[in-house]
Amino acid sequence: MKTLMLNENEIAKAADILKNGGLVAMPTETVYGLAANALDGSAVAGIFKAKGRPMDNPLIVHIADLSQIHLLVSCFPEKAKILAERFWPGPLTIILPKSDRIPDEVSAGLDTVAVRFPSHKVARQLIAASMPLAAPSANLSGSPSPTNARHVYDDMNGRIDAIIDGGECAVGVESTVITLAGDVPKLLRPGGVTVEQLRQAIGEVVIDDAVMNPLSSGEKASSPGMKYKHYAPKAKVILLEGSAEAFIAYVNAKKSDGAAALCYDEDMGRLKVPYIPIGHADDYEMQSHKLFSALRNADEQGFRTVYAHCPKTDGMGLAVYNRMIRAAGFEVIEL
Ligand code: AMP
Ligand code: MG
């Protein structure tokens, strides 16, 4: 299959592809999404095939107008209304009981559906010109998510119908996922909307164990995506927990082993190994923005072992931590 490269002015062409059951990668404010008609099970099945995604990992449905949610869910409770009012359009996904219009491929057989209203202009125009779109991140399953069109092309050329180039994604990590389908609102994946902001809006929000810890064997994932190895480059990633001085000393001592570092901007001058900066230590937004690109960059440079700081877990730090710890296969060294 030939993959068309489209620009932001070719939304109508992309919408036609979607109406014919095809697959289009689109920019969003979080990461690039691989979209298909959310109400067409066989179109959605194509997403799983193109990504090599396990069929038991459900997809997020993207809307461009709040009225579309009633097509997708069987109820829209007060807390969902508050979150929608406060954070949509934006990087928040809300899980609710699904309507019977949702194909099994989208919900992976669950009785819930994940819904998001993105803020990116191109994503909104594409949905408005077509229909609600099911879209996971537009990478091969298990790889770091794509934050620009070239990343998508590298993974998906020849596997999908088209890619719309909308430049770099602003947020850089996937949406925050919260479920309102249980008794207490629960954070399943941290992202651009922080748990502190969610609690301010609706009160109690618990954090699913799998956000920070590996699932123990036999444990059932509340978000199926969390049970898979994720976001991992080919390079081995190892997290180091300790002071900046300890980090620099440890990594420099590994120079002869061919080590490289994902480092904070202020550490660059003191490192004796190749490094990729990801922002200042306290700038979690910048770290989110650069993380996936940095992981892909590590592979492009052929690094085999990459040491990174173990992130803090307040604010958007939790989103960085959640991705890094999975990219590192939960390997953390205390210094
Ligand atoms: P991605 O498509 O790469 O952004 O991944 C979507 C994430 O949302 C995955 O971790 C899914 O497991 C999760 N997800 C989607 N729908 C549901 C659902 N109905 N219940 C729980 N998790 C979901
Ligand atoms: Mg993904």
With tokens 């399953």, the residue in question is 141
Measured from the Cα of 136, ligand 1's closest atom is 2
What one-character-per-residue DSSP string does 227-258 give? GS--S--SSEEEEEES-HHHHHHHHHTTGGGT
- Count Cβ atoms within 10 A of the Cβ of residue 279 and give its class: 0-12 exposed, 13-18 middle, 19 or more buried: buried
- 315 sits in the region (left: phi over 0; alpha: psi -120 to 50; else beta) called left
Pair 330, 238: CB distance under 8 Å: no
Give the distance (Å) from ligand 1 centre to CA of residue 71.
Answer: 19
Q: What is the three-class DSSP state of 158? A: coil
The separation between CA 159 and the C-alpha centre of its own chain, rounded to angstroms, equals: 20
Nearest CA-CA partner of 268 in 253, 283, 251, 290? 251
Q: What is the pLDDT of residue 229?
A: 66
What are the chain's domains?
Answer: 4-211 (3.90.870.10), 236-334 (3.40.50.11030)
Measured from the Cα of 226, ligand 1's closest atom is 10
Pair 135, 59: CB distance under 8 Å: yes
What one-character-per-residue DSSP string does 172-189 give? -SPPEEEE-SSSS-EEEE
**CB neighbours of 37 closer than 8 A, spacing ≥ 6?**
18, 19, 21, 43, 44, 130, 131, 132, 133, 134
Q: Answer whether 322 contacts ligand 1 (Cβ < 6 A).
A: no
Q: Which of 31, 60, 137, 175 to mutate to test the pocket of ligand 1 (most atoms within 8 A of CB)?
A: 60
Spatial distance between the Cα atoms of 332 and 289, rounded to a whole number of angstroms = 22
Distances (CA, A) of 281 to 70, 193, 209, 275: 42, 20, 25, 15
Measured from the Cα of 31, ligand 1's closest atom is 4
Spatial distance between the Cα atoms of 276 and 316, rounded to a whole number of angstroms = 20
Q: What is the three-class DSSP state of 76? A: coil
Give the distance (Å) from ligand 1 centre to CA of residue 6.
Answer: 27
Give the distance (Å) from ligand 2 centre to CA of residue 186.
Answer: 19
Spatial distance between the Cα atoms of 12 and 15, rounded to a whole number of angstroms = 5
Secondary structure letter of residue 73 according to DSSP: B
- pLDDT in single tens digits along all 335 residues of the chain: 899 999 999 999 999 999 999 999 999 999 999 999 999 999 999 999 999 999 999 999 999 999 999 999 999 999 999 999 999 999 999 999 999 999 999 999 999 999 999 999 999 999 999 999 999 999 999 899 999 999 999 999 999 999 999 999 999 999 999 999 999 999 999 999 999 999 999 999 999 999 998 877 777 778 877 766 678 899 999 999 999 999 999 999 999 888 999 999 999 999 999 999 999 999 999 999 999 999 999 999 999 999 999 999 999 999 999 999 999 999 999 99
Nearest CA-CA partner of 173 in 278, 283, 42, 316? 316
With tokens 């997290």, the residue in question is 239
Q: Answer whether 105 contacts ligand 1 (Cβ < 6 A).
A: no
Spatial distance between the Cα atoms of 253 and 190, rounded to a whole number of angstroms = 34
Give the distance (Å) from ligand 2 centre to CA of residue 272.
Answer: 34
- 142 sits in the region (left: phi over 0; alpha: psi -120 to 50; else beta) called left
Q: What is the pLDDT of residue 134?
A: 98
Which secondary structure element, helix H or strand E, spans residue 261, and what is its range?
strand 259-263
Measured from the Cα of 112, ligand 1's closest atom is 19
Q: Can you list the alpha helix ranges (DSSP code H) found in 5-54?
A: 11-19, 41-51
Q: Answer whether 223 contacts ligand 1 (Cβ < 6 A).
A: yes
Adjacent-strand bridge partners of 189: 177
Spatial distance between the Cα atoms of 28 and 245, rounded to a whole number of angstroms = 37
